Amino acid sequence: MRTATEILALLAVSWSAWAAGISVYPPTVRLEGAKATQVLVVSAGERDVTAECVFRLADPAMASISKDGVLTAASDGKTTLSVTCKEGRASTPVAVAAAAVKPQLSFVKDVVPIFTMAGCANSNCHGSIRGQSGFKLSLFGYEPADDFQAITGSDGHRVNRAEPEKSLILTKPTFQTQHGGGVRFAAGSLEYRTILEWIRGGATYDSAGSRIVSLSVFPEERILSGEGATHQIVATAKYSDGTSRDVTHLVQYASNNADVVQVSGGGKIQALRPGETAVMVRTLGQAVAARFYVPQPRPAQPYARVPRSNYIDEHVFAKLERLNIQPSSLAADEHFLRRAHLDTIGLLPNEAEAAGFLKSADPQKRSKLIDQLLARTEFSEFWAMKLTELFRAGTHEAGQKGARIIYQYLKRSFQQNKPYDQIVTELLLSQGQHLFGPEPTSFYNISRDSNPPDHATNVSQVFLGLRIECAKCHNHP
């Protein structure tokens, strides 16, 4: 028979295991100002279980909380929020300050983000380089001062201080006045009330106020539990005065692949089909991405354990397993032989090479073949040629001599098994004459006028895989 002490110890262990089943984000909450809000997310593993939980505030006078986990400040003080669901229980400290103080509305922090959130400041609307219908906003609100001038500096019809409700920045997005962009938010909504109150307060510009310095999201990465699964995104802005604020309702969300996941204006993700994508979150010139994965249905058979040959395999197969994707079977010897030769030296194996490899019973013959191919002269020649082409060496005034310098440099680098980061560093920092020095300075000599913007474009595309030509014409934060 167990003693009372042993029973209590077992209960404590059981309680700890149950209580550890969920977590709350953010782990601590501070609400500052009248009606300040914070969106909460309760997670069980990677699953959002907020809607399945029961919330209880130790002191309900301090704040209120909705069924979907939104805390709203009521009175100053400190309290604790208890969260209970079938997966476990957790508690979160809550502090409320200045709950009776109605903060002065900020054009930068409160009004400009609305135009980004509603899509008005997008590149296909008023945020384009030419604006829309005579009204231009900065892209995603990255120039608030210009936006203030555009909104208030016209003939007065966009902001009507005498009759705020008749201001075009309210009547157009609510479609009370004909608007090519349709309804962007409803009359009486939080967005509408914010802009209306700002106009009633004088429609001023807070030039000396704090500015957003960073934007973060939770979760940064998440696997959704199959098609139809949902998850809330929480966006937090940090400002130059050291404060932070929940801006979940003030940012713009956009799914990079709406066929995989869709996202609502309030940041609610819904999985549609298996795949992988990112959701971009933007406001006031800040942008951050949250990655979401929708796995395949779990296979009936156990996940295949494929031998790992290197640390890259560990990452590849771990991700495949998380997404319930069974790895492909090993390629046949004849297929592997052909692929290895073409990928490394650009040549097919001759008859003797093929026969020797296919007849070999050595279990390490594939690894040995790779080492042999990498040691061949054709490897350095083939890859030097590919990169010389990629760098467009020899175009314009660089000529054949400039291309030859780059080719020979790359060939020597591959023969010496020089690390790629060293090759890139030497190319970017090369100095000397373009056509006569030992250094590969002709890497830069591929533009007719050899200007810094062209160099930035070439380097970003070759080494980073990013095309930034758009920035030559389009404003972008």
Q: 243-247: which pairs have CB atoms within 8 A and are 24 or more residues apart?
A: 243/32, 243/210, 245/109, 246/37, 246/38, 246/39, 247/113, 247/215, 247/283
Q: What is the pLDDT of residue 3?
A: 53
φ and ψ at 83, to 5 degrees?
-125, 125
Q: What is the pLDDT of residue 16?
A: 40
**Host H or E run for residue 320:** helix 311-322
pLDDT by residue, tens only, the chain of 477 residues: 445 544 444 334 334 434 458 999 999 999 999 999 999 999 999 999 999 999 999 999 999 999 999 999 999 999 999 999 999 999 999 999 999 998 888 898 899 999 988 989 888 899 888 888 889 999 888 889 999 999 998 666 899 999 999 999 999 999 999 998 899 999 999 899 999 999 999 999 987 678 899 999 999 999 998 889 999 999 999 999 888 999 999 999 999 999 999 999 999 999 999 999 999 999 988 899 999 999 988 887 887 788 888 899 999 999 898 888 888 888 999 999 999 999 999 999 999 999 999 999 999 999 999 999 999 999 999 999 999 888 888 776 667 887 888 899 999 999 999 999 999 999 988 887 766 667 787 777 765 666 788 888 888 888 888 888 777 766 555
Q: Is 320:306 a contact under the CB 8 Å cutoff? A: no
Residue type, 387: L
CA dihedral 349, 350, 353, 356 (to 10 degrees): 120
Sorted by sequence, the CB contacts under 8 Å of residue 456 that are 6+ apart come out as: 468
The helix/strand/coil state of 70 is: strand
Letter string b/e over residues 36-63, b meaning 16 or more CB atoms within 10 A of that residue's CB = bbbbbbbbbeebbbbeebebebeeeebb
Q: What is the pLDDT of residue 8?
A: 43
Q: What is the pLDDT of residue 381?
A: 97
Question: For residue 207, how many other CB atoms are within 10 A of its CB?
Answer: 10
Q: What is the pLDDT of residue 1?
A: 46
- HEC assignment per residue over 187-247: CCCHHHHHHHHHHHCCCCCCCCCCCEEEEEEECCEEECCCCCCEEECEEEEEECCCCEEEC
Output DSSP code: residue 132: B
Helix 365-375 × helix 377-390 angle, to 10° = 70
The sign of the torsion formed by the CA atoms of 260, 262, 268, 271 equals negative
Output DSSP code: residue 326: P
Closest alpha carbon to 65 in 23, 45, 36, 88: 36
Residue type, 228: G
pTM above 0.95, yes or no: no
Q: How far is CA 463 from CA 381, 449, 460, in A?
A: 20, 21, 6
CA dihedral 35, 244, 241, 199 (to 10 degrees): -40
Output DSSP code: residue 396: G
Domains of the chain, CATH where assigned: 18-97 (2.60.40.1080), 107-200 (no CATH), 212-294 (2.60.40.1080), 333-375 (no CATH), 378-472 (no CATH)
φ and ψ at 239, to 5 degrees?
-115, 165
Residue type, 2: R
The sign of the torsion formed by the CA atoms of 202, 203, 208, 214 equals positive
Q: Is 14:89 a contact under the CB 8 Å cutoff? A: no
DSSP string across 255-315: ES-TTTEEE-TT-EEEE-SSEEEEEEEEETTEEEEEEEEEPPPPPSSPPP-PPP-SHHHHH
Phi-psi region of 205 (alpha: psi -120 to 50; beta: other; left: phi over 0): beta
Residue 79 forms beta bridges with which residues? 94
Question: For residue 472, how many other CB atoms are within 10 A of its CB?
Answer: 10
Q: What is the pLDDT of residue 336?
A: 97
Residue type, 296: Q
Output DSSP code: residue 135: B
CA 208 – CA 187 distance, rounded (Å): 31
**CB-based burial of residue 460 (10 Å sphere; 0-12 exposed, 13-18 middle, 19+ buried)?**
middle
Q: Is 216:235 a contact under the CB 8 Å cutoff? A: yes
Of the CA atoms within 13 Å of residue 193, those in its CB half-sphere come to 3
